[in-house]
């Protein structure tokens, strides 16, 4: 697989000169051989490019989640390391204790910047959850392809998945998506600094009930990312709930954070309700 430059699609420019690159993106994208049990194939659906079909084995369900990547289409069409981490935590049930699971109803999950949809689709199958996977408009056809490819495993485990457009900070789209979720998830969604504010605004819109959580898996690449966390900590309590060991030769591994709204955010939200 040739990994595309980071700015190929979606108009997100690369880092400026003063940025300190901790780990280059190309070396961080999942290896094409990692979990890739199938061959490259040419799909005849909406996207007519070379694609990779991967099978990710869910041991507790003894079934596979099937994910299509289309590397030539850009970063949104590839599986990122933090998604693989969340997949692994879901698969081994290590994420469960951080989820507000309800005994009498299905858990509702919203995924931000879903990319290929591996995390949301796996969560629906493993947790029997109602999941909404979201991303920029041009990413939706591949997301829908992956949702459809996993229809059986999702339905067999009483889950549901729908794909929807959600451009961070877009008020109309946020209103359409609503706030009726128990958990928001995201993997590798903090990278370009111009996306920090839109992402935080989206989280500010969504996280308005004290029982709601945002679980974010993140692989640190640039020092500037501390700016995102500094801003996030003004709005949310942010805790580390899991750390992956760094891969060979790397300085850092994927970290999973849990965000919950700070009390003053909840007050603002409840005042806005009146
Ligand atoms: C680095 S990729 C991670 C994809 C996936 N979560 C994963 O871990 O494999 C970042 C994702 O955020 C999405 N994204 C970027 N800017 C966005 C925006 N303004 N609104 C919504 N999604 C955005 C991209 O399309 C992409 O799917």
**For each of the chain's 274 residues, which pLDDT tens digit applies?**
333 323 323 333 222 322 333 333 433 343 333 333 332 333 334 444 688 999 999 999 999 999 999 999 999 999 999 999 999 999 999 999 999 888 889 999 999 999 999 999 999 999 999 999 999 999 999 999 999 999 999 999 999 999 999 999 999 999 999 999 999 999 999 999 999 999 999 999 999 988 899 999 999 999 999 999 999 999 999 999 999 999 888 889 999 999 999 876 565 655 554 3
What CATH superfamily is the domain 74-273?
Vaccinia Virus protein VP39 (3.40.50.150)
Ligand 1 atom nearest residue 86's Cα: 8
Q: Residue 119 has what pLDDT?
A: 98
Site residues for ligand 1, CB cut-off 6 Å: 10, 75-76, 79-80, 82-83, 113-116, 135-136, 139, 166-168, 187-189, 191, 195, 198
How many A from CA of 113 to the centre of ligand 1?
Answer: 4
Where are the chain's structural domains?
74-273
Cβ atoms 112, 73 nearer than 8 A: no
Q: Name the residue of 76, 89, 254 to mutate for ligand 1: max ligand atoms within 8 A of Cβ.
A: 76
Q: Rounded to whole angstroms, how far apart are CA atoms 181 and 108?
A: 5
Closest residue to atom 12 of ligand 1, CA basis = 113
How many A from CA of 67 to the centre of ligand 1?
Answer: 16
């Amino acid at each position: 697989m040739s990994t595309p430059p980071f700015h190929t699609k979606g108009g997100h420019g690369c880092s400026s000169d003063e940025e300190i690159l901790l780990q280059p993106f190309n070396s961080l994208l999942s290896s094409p051989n990692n979990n890739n049990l199938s061959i490259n194939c040419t799909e005849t659906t909406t996207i007519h490019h070379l694609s990779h079909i991967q099978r990710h084995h869910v041991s507790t369900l003894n079934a596979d989640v099937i994910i299509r990547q289309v590397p030539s289409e850009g970063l949104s069409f590839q599986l990122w390391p933090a998604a693989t981490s969340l997949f692994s935590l879901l698969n081994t049930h290590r994420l469960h204790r951080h989820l507000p699971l309800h005994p009498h109803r299905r858990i509702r999950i919203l995924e931000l910047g879903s990319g290929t949809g591996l995390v949301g689709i796996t969560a629906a199958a493993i947790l029997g959850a109602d999941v909404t996977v979201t991303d920029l408009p041009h990413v939706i056809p591949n997301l829908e392809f992956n949702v459809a490819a996993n229809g059986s495993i999702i339905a067999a485990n009483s889950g549901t998945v729908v794909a929807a457009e959600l451009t961070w900070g877009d008020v109309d789209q946020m209103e359409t998506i609503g706030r009726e979720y128990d958990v928001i998830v995201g993997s590798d969604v903090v990278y370009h600094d111009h996306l920090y504010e839109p992402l935080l605004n989206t989280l500010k819109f969504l996280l308005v009930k004290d029982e709601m959580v945002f679980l974010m898996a993140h692989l640190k690449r640039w020092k500037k990312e501390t700016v995102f966390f500094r801003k996030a900590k003004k709005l949310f309590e942010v805790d580390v709930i899991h750390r992956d060991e760094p891969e060979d030769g790397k300085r850092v591994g994927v970290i999973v954070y849990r965000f919950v709204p700070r009390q003053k955010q909840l007050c603002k939200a409840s005042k806005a309700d009146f």
